[in-house]
């Protein structure tokens, strides 16, 4: 499915940080409906902080974040989720003492459309078949890859308009990484808009319609996924070429 022209998420000249430390220095990013947009960069580049600002977890110091044409300045994190902007956090952060099914239902905590919730639950199980067989298993007993699937599934249960994923391949066995990236492609084919932060720059750019390269809190390069993959600067810094 080709990306539409409608601008869904716009970050303009965003600055943010922690205490006296400024991490983001005027970051501008756009995500259009139906796209996968990847953010790549080294450790400390500001990728996760960017997502946390968008999610309302880290307050922005200046600049603007607009989603579906509306400002997110001062909007609480839970209210941002209700608007359809949902993050799969780095480290997964599932509820380890809840079952797989309970974790998934937590993703739909703000919804009241029970029939649609059950339908969405079956869609998650179709996407990640291994979770259905483990619906009564405690989340904390799953492997890292299975927990990542659960974290994605939990986010999908909120019916996001835009799904942000923070390092989905981190600490996961290669076979399950491949399954997770296949799921990302499947979600994109269904029309879900995705903003992806990923340590595996090659995989991220292969998936992406467009991408941005962050270095020390600034966007230093942007382009289509194919353009960035073929850029000598990206190859030298992130692709080992």
Question: What does pTM read for this prediction?
Answer: 0.92
126-to-116, 134, 171 alpha-carbon distances in Å: 15, 13, 24
The answer for 75, left when phi > 0, alpha when psi is -120 to 50, beta otherwise, is beta
**118 Cβ neighbours under 8 A, 6+ residues apart:** none
Per-residue pLDDT of the chain (241 residues; tens, 9 = 90+): 344 569 999 999 999 999 999 999 999 999 999 999 999 999 899 999 999 999 999 999 999 999 999 999 999 999 999 999 999 988 788 989 999 999 999 999 888 888 999 999 999 999 999 999 999 999 999 998 899 999 999 999 999 999 999 999 888 888 888 889 999 999 999 999 999 999 899 999 999 999 999 999 999 999 999 999 999 999 999 987 5
| Domains of the chain, CATH where assigned | 7-239 (3.40.50.300)
Q: What is the residue whose two structure tokens read 């209210």?
A: 79
Closest CA to 38 of 231, 221, 170, 180: 221
Q: What is the pLDDT of residue 175?
A: 87
Q: What is the pLDDT of residue 212?
A: 98
Cα separation, 4 vs 11, in Å, equals 18
Asked if 9 contacts 67 with a C-beta cutoff of 8 angstroms, the reply is yes
162-166/193-197 β-pairing? parallel
Q: What is the pLDDT of residue 241?
A: 57
Q: Radius of gyration (Cα) for the chain, nearest Å? A: 17
Closest CA to 219 of 70, 63, 83, 108: 63
Reduce the DSSP state of residue 120 to 3 states and report it: helix
3-to-21, 71, 79, 229 alpha-carbon distances in Å: 36, 22, 26, 19
The upper half-sphere exposure of residue 12, i.e. CA atoms within 13 Å in the direction of its Cβ, equals 11
- List, in sequence order, the alpha helices (H) in 157-200: 174-189
Q: Which two tokens stand for residue 8?
A: 């869904």
Closest CA to 223 of 211, 208, 239: 211
Q: What is the pLDDT of residue 1?
A: 36
Residue 111 CA, distance from chain mean position: 21
């Amino acid at each position: 499915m080709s990306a539409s022209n409608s601008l869904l998420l716009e970050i303009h000249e965003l600055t943010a940080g922690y205490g006296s430390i400024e991490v983001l220095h005027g970051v501008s990013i756009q995500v259009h409906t139906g796209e996968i947009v990847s953010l790549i960069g080294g450790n400390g580049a500001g990728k996760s902080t960017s997502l946390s600002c968008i999610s309302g977890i880290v307050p922005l110091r200046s600049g603007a974040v607009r989603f579906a044409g509306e400002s997110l300045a001062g909007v609480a994190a839970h209210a941002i989720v209700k608007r359809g902007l949902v993050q799969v956090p780095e480290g997964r952060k599932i509820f380890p003492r809840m079952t797989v099914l309970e974790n998934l239902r937590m993703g739909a905590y703000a919804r009241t459309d029970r029939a649609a919730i059950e339908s969405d639950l079956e869609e998650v199980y179709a996407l990640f078949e291994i979770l259905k067989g483990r619906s009564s298993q405690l989340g904390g007993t799953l492997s890292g890859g299975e927990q990542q699937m659960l974290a994605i599934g939990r986010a999908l249960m909120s019916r996001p308009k835009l799904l942000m994923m923070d390092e989905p391949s981190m600490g996961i066995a290669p076979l399950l990484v491949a399954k997770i990236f296949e799921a990302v492609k499947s979600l994109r084919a269904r029309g879900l808009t995705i903003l992806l932060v990923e340590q595996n720059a090659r995989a991220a750019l292969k998936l992406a319609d467009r991408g941005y390269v962050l270095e020390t809190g600034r966007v230093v390069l942007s382009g289509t996924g194919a353009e960035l993959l073929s850029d000598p600067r990206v190859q030298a810094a992130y692709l080992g070429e």
